[in-house]
Amino acid sequence: MAKILGIDLGTTNSVAAVIDAGEATVVENAEGNRITPSVVAVNVRSERQAVTNPENTIFSVKRLMGRRYDEPIVQDAAKRLPYQVVSGDNGDAHVEMSGQSYAPPQISSMILQKIRQAVITVPAYFNDSQRQATKDAGTIAGLDVLRSTNGDTFLGGDDFDDAILNETGIDLTQDRMALQRLRDAAERAKIELSTISDAGIGAGSIDDVILVGGMSRMPSVQAKVQQIFGREPSRSSDSQPSVDIHVLQGERPMSNDNKTIGRFMLDGILPAPRGMPQIDVTFDIDSNGILSVSAQDKGTGKEQRIVIQTSSGLSQEDIERMMSDAEANEAADRERRAGVETRNQADSLAYSAERLLTEHAETLPADLKAEADAKLESLRTAIAANNVAQMQTAINELNEALQRVGQAVYTQPGAGGPGDAGGAGDAPPGSDDTVEGEFREV
């Protein structure tokens, strides 16, 4: 038996799903999206052109399904819709697009036209006429509509948008483009307010803002984010979703001097600042010389593994040659390794210093922050030049500056240091506030 598709023909968006292996699976549309705007023509672009071409962009047609043109609910909806709602030859509510009249089932059929066998949900309040109109939409689209089932009684996003439109008290029914622009603004406000409310926090409570995607490179986007959240957004390599596990064989400390025997990706890592995710890598060799390498993210429990056969392993001659190379290059390798470790140390210090200075930018003394910023810039210059000696000098100087920054942060009110009221720093000179404690060995 062919799989039957379940369709939620929504007022704003539509979703299709099938039962696969006992579980409901949402079917993506041609654009790879899990929801399809209930807008004609049915694609994301038609949804976007609603502002520039409002009279020929049909949406929320579900509210007109199976209704007469003279019904109060139709007349009320027509006042808020940017396209024309007209009376059909049979007195039903139709919509007019590019000078042609369309029945609501025709519009809905354009949403459903690529689907062939389906169960379609309808609101529980739909009467027989409205249910039949929905089935007609499926038939027009070439669907074999097995049945229509009750959906929820809608209190959809459009209802909230309409409430916000009415709240403004401005009558824009004669300017359809302005009406649609106001509707879009109402929808954006609704989404933004709901998001903040759901999170239960304000913009000032956000510790870090991470920008991803190509648009995050636009200076105007970065400036707007900084204006809203009061801090510069992070555009670094934090929050990487995967890590590359590279397995090598050899005696040398540097990876490019050894032989690659396997490589795999560990995906599904939770977004976090660099250095935070903890990954366990395990090597296991069985009695047959087969190597298994596994990597597990301790935060999510996600695990990936690779099995490496040794059939094309190293000959005894290769092993002896590699050992000889390792001995001959021991001093050079030690120097190279020290250089890499210094660079890693410098890179890590620059990252942590930037976070510290950004976090306390408004409370640090100006001269102290300026000194630390200058030392940080010197370290970055040394890293860019890949000069190990300069990096080591810059590391030492920046550490000294950060130590003074740390002392300043510690003594600030509210930092838990001696400057806090009620702390140990408030005890009068010579007083004995020592409290004896107990301990026991376990």
Q: Residue 141 phi/psi, 5° resolution?
A: -80, 0
Name the stretches of the chain with pLDDT < 70.
1-4, 11, 20-21, 28-32, 40-54, 111-128, 130-131, 134-135, 137-180, 182-183, 186-204, 212-218, 232-239, 273-274, 288-289, 309-316, 318-319, 322, 412-442
Tell me, what's the pLDDT at 424? 42
Buried b (16+ CB within 10 A) or exposed e, 232-263: ebbeeebbeeebebebebbbbbeeebbeebbe
What is the SS3 assignment for 36? Answer: strand
CB 133 within 8 A of CB 104: yes
Burial of 101 (0-12, 13-18, 19+ CB in 10 A): middle
Q: In the block, which residue shows the tokens 């519009």?
A: 107
The structure's pTM equals 0.33
251: its two tokens: 């005696």
pLDDT value at residue 132: 72
**What pLDDT score was predicted for residue 425?**
42
What's residue 111's pLDDT?
A: 66
Q: Write down the pLDDT at residue 396.
A: 92
Ranges of CATH 2.60.34.10 domains, the chain: 242-327
pLDDT tens per residue, range 108-142: 777 666 444 445 556 555 666 766 776 676 666 55
The pLDDT value recorded for residue 195 is 62
Q: How far is CA 160 from CA 36, 46, 76, 85, in A?
A: 20, 22, 15, 21
Tokens of 369: 């922050």
For CATH 3.30.420.40, list the domain ranges present in the chain: 5-153
Q: What is the CATH number of domain 5-153?
A: 3.30.420.40
| pLDDT score for 418 | 47
Cα-trace Rg, the chain: 33
Cα(340)–Cα(317) distance, integer angstroms: 30
CATH 1.20.1270.10 domain locations along the chain: 332-414
CATH of 242-327, one of 2.40.30.10, 1.10.357.10, 2.60.34.10, 2.40.110.10: 2.60.34.10
* Element at 106 (helix H, strand E): helix 104-112
Pairing of strands 39-40, 36-37: unpaired
Q: Helix, strand, coil: what percent of the chain each, to 5?
A: 45, 20, 35
Q: Quick one: tokens of 122? A: 């309808």
**312 Cβ contact list (under 8 Å, min separation 6):** none
Q: How far apart are CA 92 and CA 64, in angstroms?
A: 9
- For domain 332-414, the CATH architecture is Up-down Bundle (1.20)
